[in-house]
Amino acid sequence: MDVKLKYKAKKIKIVFFDIDDTLRVKDTGYMPASIQQVFKSLKEKGILVGIASGRGIFGVVPEIRELEPDFFVTLNGAYVEDKKGQVVSEQPIPQNIVEKYIAWTKEVGIEYGLVGSHGAALSARSPMINQAIDVVYQKLPVDPDFYQSEKIYQMWTFEDQGDSLQLPADLSGDLRLVRWHPNSSDVVSIAGSKATGVQKVIEKLGLKPENLLVFGDELNDLELFDYAGMSIAMGHSHPKIFEKADYITKTVEEDGIFDALEKLGMVEKELNFPQVEIENNKGPFATIKTNLGDMKLVLFPEQAPKTVANFIALSKDGYYDGVIFHRIIQDFMIQGGDPTGTGMGGESIYGERFEDEFSPELYNIRGALSMANAGPNTNGSQFFIVQNSNLPYSAKELSRGGWPEPIAEIYATKGGTPHLDRRHTVFGQLLDEQSYQVLDKISQVETGAMDRPVEDVIIETIEVEDE
């Protein structure tokens, strides 16, 4: 992400989103869960959010409405409402132009659609029309004379002529075609676009274009991309949109909107702490079988993928079989995973030391499985399990120090080693009370020089259950 873009992002006070193939996948209706977090985070920062769509407001699906946008710029800018349903701007097409357009469709032998502020109608039904329109608007009525009782803000063509279809001279001064489907174009006012509708909102709020960020993917976003202070194209956008965009993000399915806003510093990932409700984790699981009992753990591949992959592969290969816990310190931790038993050996599956994977969602609380190392990015095969059950800090003190409240509470009530956070990669957690009993039993063995047990505590094997 360009540093200049991050600087421009600091000026953003309102964000407008296209709907189809931007917020959600048009053909399937899929909308990533991250969109809810995007809207929530932007609102919490005092940034307004809006919809800018070729759809009519009656075609805004429930899951988009539930996001509670502040503004709806609909019908390619021809009709604009705020969240209270109050009209901000409207630009209906004069009735004589509508009638002239209908006469032309009959002359060239194509079907048409008429769109009002809160409803629409078709001139006819056919498999081609159904295939084009039903994905966006279901159960539209056939009413060729819809314009006689309703203001018309937009129209459609239904045909198989594609871009070869052109308006005649006596209409092209008032209307233009914006292709949105192989068999249909939006027919909009020559002066209308999403940009004109959004501009009305910006002016109403007393803002400037530099305060506006927009997301889009299709040709009807071109003018909006020109107008906005910052524009972001979805990963599957029309090539002309790519040319206009300040930044190209990932696709809808890849959480493209969240990814771009996170890189701009406008939203933050909503943190989940899998160690807090450990019973809700779905695995993978590992059982460390020792000569003093078994310890069952859940692993966290989402937060520490490379570390978990290393531990699972070594365990399945029998790398840890017969290896001792070579360093045990009561009220601190138990450490093992070195085949040499010296604390100086051990290799990863990567054939070299590998990097730390510090997650803001994982901490060295009591029972945490964490990587031993010799400094930053020196992980191999050695690991430790935090055993300390006493901590001289209150949850309030830890929260003030920057630890998340749920984690601070665990540290204060159950113990752990917070001074190891951001120094050692946490990648697992003990699962049950029996495992904690074994952990404490191991921690109490007699030790000698270098905290090495007088009698070996042996890892017989580590069994892995993939999720």
For the stretch 68-119, pLDDT in tens is 999 999 998 999 999 999 999 999 999 999 999 999 999 999 999 999 999 9
- Find out whether 297 and 312 touch, Cβ atoms under 8 Å: no
Domain ranges of the chain: 3-87+193-264, 95-189, 278-465
Q: Provide the pairing of β-strand 14-17 with 212-216.
A: parallel
- Number of neighbours of residue 405 by Cβ within 10 angstroms: 12
Quote the tokens at residue 254.
Answer: 């890849």
Tell which residue, 5, 4, 71, has the closest CA to residue 260: 5
Residues of the chain with pLDDT under 70: 467
- Find out whether 187 and 100 touch, Cβ atoms under 8 Å: no
Q: What is the pLDDT of residue 192?
A: 83
Q: What is the pLDDT of residue 163?
A: 87
- Find out whether 385 and 368 touch, Cβ atoms under 8 Å: yes
Q: Where are the beta strands (DSSP E) in 116-237?
A: 120-122, 154-158, 175-181, 184-189, 212-216, 230-233
How far apart are the C-alpha atoms of 235 and 256, rounded to whole Å? 7
111's CB contacts (< 8 A; 6+ apart) are 105, 122, 123, 124, 126, 129, 157, 158, 159
Q: What is the pLDDT of residue 229?
A: 96
- Number of neighbours of residue 420 by Cβ within 10 angstroms: 17
Q: What is the pLDDT of residue 191?
A: 84
3-state secondary structure of 210: helix
How far apart are the C-alpha atoms of 455 and 448, rounded to whole Å? 10
pTM here is: 0.62
Give me the CATH topology for the region 278-465.
Cyclophilin (2.40.100)
- Number of neighbours of residue 119 by Cβ within 10 angstroms: 17
18 is catalytic: yes
CATH class belonging to 95-189 = alpha beta
User: Does 3-87+193-264 carry CATH code 1.10.10.10?
Assistant: no
- Residue 428 β-bridge partners: 299, 369
**List 2, 18, 160, 217, catalytic entry:** 18
- Find out whether 47 and 13 touch, Cβ atoms under 8 Å: yes
Strands in 120-122's sheet, in edge-to-edge order, are 120-122, 111-115, 154-158, 184-189, 175-181
Burial of 317 (0-12, 13-18, 19+ CB in 10 A): exposed
How far apart are the C-alpha atoms of 297 and 283, rounded to whole Å? 9
- Number of neighbours of residue 390 by Cβ within 10 angstroms: 9
Q: What is the pLDDT of residue 383?
A: 98
In terms of residues, how long is the chain? 467
For the stretch 331-385, pLDDT in tens is 999 999 999 999 999 999 999 899 999 999 999 999 999 999 999 999 999 999 9
For the stretch 225-256, pLDDT in tens is 999 999 999 999 999 999 999 999 999 999 99
Tell which residue, 156, 163, 157, has the closest CA to residue 109: 157
Helix or strand holding residue 4 (H, E):
helix 3-9
Q: What is the pLDDT of residue 138?
A: 86
How far apart are the C-alpha atoms of 239 and 219, rounded to whole Å? 9
Q: Measure CA 68 to chain center.
A: 18
Q: What is the pLDDT of residue 467?
A: 62
Angle at which helices 34-44 and 256-263 pack, to 10 degrees?
Answer: 30
